Structures are given as structure tokens and as C-alpha cells.
Chain A
């Protein structure tokens, strides 16, 4: 049995998908969720083959939800916003349905999903997409998972970022959090006027830098408000000086 999940905060919007889905008896509706938190749990519990996902929802957005998953399922976005289409396809969405959509349009999305599934089955691939979604540059918050809980970190609370193997350690006033993304990901998505890559393994929030001390030959140490010392390389020093206007 093929399992599907609908995640949308408007009950009537879920009803439309449910009604259209009745044309596909081979698909069973495993869960209906009204926000991203419920959606995350349902995806982890049911491992669905297909998720209908709204973008603007309570608590966390559809994109943020996908980001928290190690292996995101196949997704068809359903939204009234057309400005997320590019982002959605970067997140390897199967399709992007603009509300309100017709039964015919829904069928096209389903055909696309079926074709993709067939292809992958033939090629022996897993049905998971392999690339995480990319949030809009200048995102104002970062969503991380801690055990079973979701933590939302406003970017202004981030003091510095530290590379740690396949993860990035996010240092905030509330403690440290791990996110399974690379430094490049943060460099691309955080405001470059606020967060500066000062070292191969470090990015700092320039608002937290109190002073720069010389360190060893050509390097420096950035001293942050909370006393943390962050290594600054020669090129990082130049970038930092440029942003700070020193």
C-alpha cells in the first residue's frame, strides 16, 4: 500500500486533496496534519511515499520541515504563493500546485509522481530525494532538531558557527546546537553583512565581536562579547575588516 500524508493548516484545503486523492484507491492516507511539528512526527512515524505540503503554516514552514529530515520523502507542494516555485524545485519537489487547483491539474502532478517512482524503481534507487531544500537567502531563523524536539533559533541569537565534521555547531546564548549542513550552506543563506566567514571552520556574528587580538604570526583571534575566542585567518581578517568598516 502506498502511503500519503497531507500537511496543511486549513481544513478545507486538506479536504480538496483528500477528495482528489479518492481517485487513487491504491493510495492510503496515513495522516492529516495541521502544522509542521505534527507533519514532522507523522513523516517519521509513517515514512510516507508522498507528502502534500503547504508552505506557510503555523510554527515552521514547509521548507523548514523538510530541512529537518535526514531523508525527505517525495513532496508535492500545495500553496497559494507562487514565489516559492523555484525554491520548491530546488528542494526536488515532484510538483508545485497553486491553490486553487483543478482535479486535472492534480492528476498531472500525480502522473508525474507515478512516473518518477517507476523510474527510480527501475533504476533501483531509493524513493528519497537526495538534496535538502534551500531556504531563502537572508533567512531570519534556523530550525534545528534536538532529540525529538524542534528548536527555532533566531539568527540574531547566533554568536558564531563552528564546523564539526559533517555538521555545523551553532553557538548561541542558549547553548550549542548541531545542524547537518555545511559552512557553505550558512555562508549562502545568512546575511553576509552580519555573518562573516573568518576562518575555514568559523563564521562570526560581527555584532558580537568586541576586539581582535593578534595571534601567532599572521593570524588573529576575535574576542566576542561572551568571552569566546574565535580564530581568524589572514583572509578572514581582511573580510572582517571590510564588513566592520575598520
Chain B
């Protein structure tokens, strides 16, 4: 019962039931004390109805005023005050109804104490239940607000992580366009279109986070085309995507930072040709994507696995799937390998 009360603010129903029980008790008490049955029923109903009214009043008082300090003193004063008020009004009402019958007055006064006690208990109980209800309501409210603000923060962070683009990529691409304008204006125009499409992709605001791998690969291709113009013959790619993997879903804009990281470290270590290998397949119901680049152990760079791109991807995967094991970076035979696993979510709309 308590649990239901906590969930829903329905104090009126149990109060009424209890008041009903009380009314019967009061009727029996009055009859036992020597009152005729019909009069006892009317008197009992007066007591009962006024008790319900008092309880509702207590509940509403609590709704508008809840002291932070001296709560129990307040509870005591409130309960006793309302009980006294209730019994006074009830007795007065009865005397008004049975004005011409003096023996009623003495009967009422004789039974007052026995009448008062259950009323006091009920008003006290109403206070307690209402109090619990309001406190838990407040806490729930607080929790809801916290959750809402956490979600906002997370969404903002996810958006920022998705959007983060290396500005030097943009400046270097613009510089390439500037060079192409001098000799090959058609290629310059082509590069502008590709760069625009790429930028538009990073600016997408709608939260359609999940795309198919083949859509993601199309986007990646724009990026690779631009980088191939920049680095010329030095950048080669080897892309192997299994047919069943290409229709699988993944968060958008996840692949490009991984490939950017691979290009950066692969190409910065050598001035000869570099093959970046990108593989994707289905494995244990998960989409597994690998990005590999060769590196030269002779030229020491800061640990590649700590590159900003990888950190951002790892963070995104954590925010989306609450798992820290989805991105792993390893080295093998002068190859740096980044692997990400995308779990298949049951809710493919993924409305985070």
C-alpha cells in the first residue's frame, strides 16, 4: 500500500476507507453509550465526514508549507491542533442538530476522549503519508532534473566530439586548392566540391547517429580523395569491406578520425608510398573495423595511440555504448593497427 501511495498522490481513497471504518466504530461507541441507532449513525457520519475534511486540510497545508527546521514539533502542533479543531467542530455540529435533547450533550462529553484518540491517529497518519509522498516526489524531481541535465551534457559532448575537425586539414586543403587554381582549375573546382561535401557532413546537426557502413565509407572516400590530392602518389589505400558488413549500422563520422590518425602517423614517418589498409567485417554479431598504417620505429613520435582523434573516438564509443573496450590500438611488425567494434544495438533507431 505504501509503495502505491508513494507512486501516486492518492491519499483521499485510503483516508476515506479509514474514515468509514472509524465511522462504524463511532456509531457502535455512541450506541453502546446509550444513543439510539439512527441518531448514532447520523452522529458517526458527522464525525467521519469532518475527519476526512480535516485530513484533506492537513494534506493541503503540508503541500504549501513544509518547515525545514523543527519538523516534528510542527507535526505535533499540526496534528493535535487539527484533532482538537475537528472534535470541537464535530461536537458543536452535533449539539446544533440535537439542540432540544440535553442528554446528548453529556453523552458527547463522556465519549469525547475515546472519539478523539482514533481521530488524532488518523490525522497523524495522514500527515506522515503526505510528508513521505512530498519528500519522495521532491527527490524524484531532483533525479529527473539531474538525468535531464546529464543527458544534455552528454549530447553536447557527443556533438562536439563528432564535429571536431582538425583545422590544419582544412588549411592545407585550401592551400592545395590555391595551388591547383594556378595550373589545373578544373581539379581545383572538384576539390572545392569535395571539401564542401566533407565539411557539410561534419556540420550535420540532426541526431541521426546511426548510418550504414556503406554510407560511412562514402563519406570517408571524400576525405581520402582530398588527402590523395594533397599527398599525391604517396597515399595509397587498400579497402576491404565484406558484403554483410556494409549494411551494418554504426555511429556516423567515426571512421574518418581513425583514418586521419593513420595517415598522419603513416605519412609523417616516411616520404615514400604508404598504404593505409581499411577492413570491415562481421564478427560475433559485431561490426569490426580495422585501420592499419605502417610506421618507422627509427623516427620516434609521441605514442600514436594517444593521438587526439583516437581519444575522441574512444570517448564517443564510451558515451554511446558505456564500454571502454571497443577501441584497441596495437602495433605489429611495424604496423600500427586500430580496431573498433560496434555492438549491434537492439534498438537500431538509437535515440540517444
Is A19 an interface residue when CB atoms closer than 8 A count as contact? Answer: yes
B226–chain A nearest beta-carbon distance, Å:
11
Taking a contact as CB atoms under 8 Å apart, the answer to whether A58 and B267 are in contact is yes
Is B269 an interface residue when CB atoms closer than 8 A count as contact? Answer: yes
Taking a contact as CB atoms under 8 Å apart, the answer to whether A13 and B179 are in contact is yes
Q: Most A CB atoms within 10 A — which of B177, B179, B180, B269?
A: B179
B 150-163 binary contact with A (CB < 8 Å = 1; else 0): 00000000000000
With the chains together, A140 CA to B175 CA distance in Å? 29
Taking a contact as CB atoms under 8 Å apart, the answer to whether B177 and A59 are in contact is no
Chain B residues with Cβ below 8 Å from A152 are: 298-300
Taking a contact as CB atoms under 8 Å apart, the answer to whether A100 and B177 are in contact is yes
B 201-243 binary contact with A (CB < 8 Å = 1; else 0): 0000000000000000000000000000111100000000000
Taking a contact as CB atoms under 8 Å apart, the answer to whether B269 and A9 are in contact is no
Taking a contact as CB atoms under 8 Å apart, the answer to whether B168 and A81 are in contact is yes
With the chains together, A37 CA to B231 CA distance in Å? 18
Taking a contact as CB atoms under 8 Å apart, the answer to whether A154 and B271 are in contact is no
Q: Most A CB atoms within 10 A — which of B171, B172, B267, B302?
A: B172
Is B178 an interface residue when CB atoms closer than 8 A count as contact? Answer: yes
With the chains together, A239 CA to B102 CA distance in Å? 103
With the chains together, A19 CA to B182 CA distance in Å? 8
Is A10 an interface residue when CB atoms closer than 8 A count as contact? Answer: yes
Taking a contact as CB atoms under 8 Å apart, the answer to whether A99 and B302 are in contact is no
With the chains together, A59 CA to B268 CA distance in Å? 6
Chain A residues with Cβ below 8 Å from B16 are: none
Chain A residues with Cβ below 8 Å from B300 are: 140-141, 152, 154
Chain A residues with Cβ below 8 Å from B180 are: 12
Taking a contact as CB atoms under 8 Å apart, the answer to whether B230 and A12 are in contact is yes
Is A221 an interface residue when CB atoms closer than 8 A count as contact? Answer: no
| Chain B, 147-199, CB within 8 A of any chain A CB | 167-168, 171-172, 174-180, 182-183
| Given contact pairs A12-B180, A12-B230, A15-B182, A56 touches B268 in the complex (Cβ within 8 A) | yes
Chain B residues with Cβ below 8 Å from A98 are: 171
Is A127 an interface residue when CB atoms closer than 8 A count as contact? Answer: no
B 240-254 binary contact with A (CB < 8 Å = 1; else 0): 000000000000000
Q: Which bucket holds chain B's interface residue count?
A: 20 to 34
Taking a contact as CB atoms under 8 Å apart, the answer to whether A59 and B171 are in contact is no
Taking a contact as CB atoms under 8 Å apart, the answer to whether B299 and A10 are in contact is no
B236–chain A nearest beta-carbon distance, Å:
15
8 Å CB contact of A100 from B175, B231, B268, B299: B175
Q: Which residue on chain A has the smallest CB distance to residue B264? A: A56
With the chains together, A34 CA to B270 CA distance in Å? 10
Q: Which residue on chain A has the smallest CB distance to residue B174? A: A100
Q: Which residue on chain B has the smallest CB distance to residue A57? A: B268
Taking a contact as CB atoms under 8 Å apart, the answer to whether B168 and A10 are in contact is no
B192–chain A nearest beta-carbon distance, Å:
13
Taking a contact as CB atoms under 8 Å apart, the answer to whether B271 and A9 are in contact is yes
Taking a contact as CB atoms under 8 Å apart, the answer to whether B172 and A59 are in contact is no
B210–chain A nearest beta-carbon distance, Å:
33
Taking a contact as CB atoms under 8 Å apart, the answer to whether B269 and A58 are in contact is yes
Taking a contact as CB atoms under 8 Å apart, the answer to whether A15 and B179 are in contact is yes
B262–chain A nearest beta-carbon distance, Å:
14
Is A11 an interface residue when CB atoms closer than 8 A count as contact? Answer: yes
Is A60 an interface residue when CB atoms closer than 8 A count as contact? Answer: yes
Chain A residues with Cβ below 8 Å from B271 are: 9, 34-35, 37-38, 58-59
A 12-30 binary contact with B (CB < 8 Å = 1; else 0): 1101100100000000000
Is A80 an interface residue when CB atoms closer than 8 A count as contact? Answer: yes
With the chains together, A99 CA to B179 CA distance in Å? 11
Taking a contact as CB atoms under 8 Å apart, the answer to whether B231 and A59 are in contact is no
A 93-128 binary contact with B (CB < 8 Å = 1; else 0): 000001110000000000000000000000000000
A198–chain B nearest beta-carbon distance, Å:
25
Q: Most A CB atoms within 10 A — which of B167, B174, B175, B180?
A: B175
A8–chain B nearest beta-carbon distance, Å:
10
With the chains together, A154 CA to B177 CA distance in Å? 36
8 Å CB contact of A12 from B168, B171, B175, B301: B175
| A-B residue pairs in contact (CB < 8 Å), sample of 29 | A10-B172, A10-B175, A10-B230, A12-B175, A12-B176, A12-B229, A12-B230, A13-B172, A13-B176, A15-B183, A16-B178, A16-B179, A16-B182, A19-B179, A19-B182, A37-B271, A56-B268, A58-B268, A58-B270, A59-B268, A59-B269, A59-B299, A60-B299, A100-B171, A100-B175, A100-B178, A140-B300, A140-B302, A152-B300
Residues of B within 8 A of A (CB): 167-168, 171-172, 174-180, 182-183, 229-232, 267-271, 298-302
Contacts A13-B176, A16-B178 given; 11 further ones with Cβ under 8 A? A16-B175, A19-B182, A19-B183, A58-B270, A58-B271, A59-B270, A80-B167, A80-B168, A80-B175, A100-B174, A152-B300
Residues of A within 8 A of B (CB): 9-13, 15-16, 19, 34-35, 37-38, 56-60, 80-81, 98-100, 140-141, 152, 154
